Amino acid sequence: MSYFGAASDAPVVADASYPFGPRPAREAVEQYGRVIADRPMTRVTMPFGGDCWVVHRHQAARDLLADHRFVREPFRTGERVVPFFVQFPDFLRTTLQFEDPPRHTKLRRLVQRAISPRRVREMRESAVAFANELIDGMLEKGAPANLIHDYALPLPIEMLSNLLGVPSSDRASFERWSSSTLAVAGKTEEEIASDMLELAGYMGDLIAQRRKEPREDLHSSLAHAHEKDDSLTDAEIFPIAFLLIIAGFDNTANFIGTGILSLLHSDEQRALLLTDPDGLSATAVEEVLRHGLFERGLPMSGGGNLVPFVATEDVVIDGQLVAAGEAIAIDPSCVGHDPNVFESPARFDISRADNPQMMLSYGLHHCLGAPLARMEMQVAIAELFKRIPDLKLAGEPTINYDHLSIPMTSLPVTW
Amino acid sequence: MPKVFYTQPDGSERVIEGVVGDSVMQTAVRNGVSGIVGQCGGVLSCATCHVFVDEDDLAACPPMTEDEDEMLDVAATDREPNSRLSCQLALVDGQDIHVTIPDAQL
């Protein structure tokens, strides 16, 4: 991948270049440290969409994400191509992620209460029960198991089905729609178009049904939102429902897989988790989000960023001028290894107390499903290791690079 | 200069000298006070900066908007009559404010 530079046998020179090519994870963290010491951000020419400032330092990232002079309008209107490491799927530009206040505020509030910390706390018991059902299934079937297929994916899909009020038997369709719409390669345009059409039909039916027979679920609140606020149109409501279905589980499944894999690679941290799985699951999840990708036993590149913003005027962040019209984004992995904020950033420590990682972003566009994702990850990790404390890897994971979220598609385990 | 007294659920206290106009949430986040997440950056969309304000300091706080009221209903720790979202508590000159951080924000 030319963007990250080629892997090489030559010794890595102690420099502060960014982006940088694949290297052992610990060396990647050291490189982040040098980059952070050198400058708050780097202007990177992205494979798509041109130049973008990529922010490295934690405080600078927070300043950026809390500053409303940075907006997404030029991407939404199509005036500019989103600077990104892959071609950004078009339909995502119509979703909440690309709205700015005040419309963003109005739309986001519609769904936020349905995925609030409290609502998610109420869902926790059913998540624990379902995780245990899945573990029962794996134990019955016997080792080895593909942990992604048997556990990491079905759990968030079940929770999403509960939240949306749809039968989890629609799971296979969810998986197909999601993988089709988030595919960055390996699918034909016809396949994608046909899957999107099917998803739009499914969603339209669901909303029509909830208008007739409201229930206590998220789609009912969406379906009836226009009664509370008559400025809301179906054209505004549909993309929200759309986003929830296609993005509502795959990142969570990825991080559940990453969390389990990282713990299987660290005997020390796994032993620590086993001393108190429920008590440690919350800090463990924050640490998996911050650093889990670096503990998979795979080389790490430096690059990759969250969705960018565009400066509406000249803004100085941490001494760097970001000129009006320039694009800017954060690299959450780099930000999560800022030694000014995280002590021993290369250390995987599931009991790390202060862990303001930004994998779920920060500010008004922080992950809409964050409370749900956290709860699912906590439950998934705690229940699995409680029930199967001697879980072991039974092979190498498979990763799909043709998909926007670069998911793990298989994680063979035994016990 | 305004002062914020943060009490953790375990009873430990930290006192931070704030900046006029900053919120109690921003002051906590900038100074690494744990237990106040403020993930949305102060736009009332996460309910992760919930605090209990000392009864004596409540009157000096700005009035609660309907949006804050709604978000407090969905915070991780049950709300009390003295609950506020600390992103809405902008500091004024000379103010001392005492807040207690709840057990859970997420």
Task: Give the model confidence (pLDDT) of A317-359 as tens digits.
Answer: 999 999 999 999 999 999 999 999 999 999 999 999 889 999 9
Q: B43–A374: do the CB atoms touch at under 8 Å?
A: no
Residues of B in contact with A360 (CB under 8 A): 39
Q: Indicate the helix (H) or strand (E) that contains A196.
A: helix A189-212
Q: B34–A108: do the CB atoms touch at under 8 Å?
A: no
pLDDT of residue A202: 86
Residues of B in contact with A351 (CB under 8 A): none
Nearest Cα of chain A lies from the Cα of B58 at a distance, in angstroms, of 24
ipTM above 0.90, yes or no: no
Give the range among A231-240, B10-19, B88-97 with minimum mean pLDDT: A231-240
- Reported as a single tens digit per residue, the pLDDT across A259-317 is 999 999 999 999 999 999 999 999 999 999 999 999 999 999 999 889 999 999 999 99
Query: How far from A217 is each of A223, A224, A226, A306, CA to CA, in Å?
Result: 10, 11, 16, 30
Q: Is A327 helix (H, G, I), strand (E, B) or coil?
A: strand
Nearest Cα of chain B lies from the Cα of A186 at a distance, in angstroms, of 36
Concatenated DSSP letters for A332-387? HHHHTT-TTTSSSTT---TT-S-----TT--GGGS-TTHHHHHHHHHHHHHHHHHH
Check: CB of residue A64 under 8 Å from CB of residue A55: yes
pLDDT of residue A1: 38
* E strands present in A202-354: 300-302, 309-311, 315-317, 320-322, 327-330
pTM: 0.89
Q: Domains in chain A and their CATH numbers?
A: 20-414 (1.10.630.10)
The number of residues making up chain A comes to 415
pLDDT of residue A224: 76
A330 vs A192: which has the higher pLDDT: A330
Residues of B in contact with A354 (CB under 8 A): 32, 34
Strands A41-46 and A408-410 turn out to be: unpaired
Query: Which residue in A343, A355, A331, A364 sits closest to A39, CA to CA?
Result: A331
pLDDT above 70 (res A216): yes
Who among A117, A282, A354 is closest to B75 (CB)? A117
Q: B76–A370: do the CB atoms touch at under 8 Å?
A: no
pLDDT of residue A244: 77
pLDDT above 60 (res B95): yes
- Reported as a single tens digit per residue, the pLDDT across A74-109 is 999 999 999 998 888 777 788 888 999 988 888 887
pLDDT above 80 (res A59): yes
To which residue do tokens 């794996």 refer? A138
Residues of B in contact with A374 (CB under 8 A): 106
Q: Indicate the helix (H) or strand (E) that contains A263.
A: helix A250-265
pLDDT above 90 (res A235): no
Q: Is A66 helix (H, G, I), strand (E, B) or coil?
A: coil
The C-alpha atoms of residue A83 and residue A163 are separated, in whole angstroms, by: 33
The C-alpha atoms of residue B35 and residue A282 are separated, in whole angstroms, by: 13
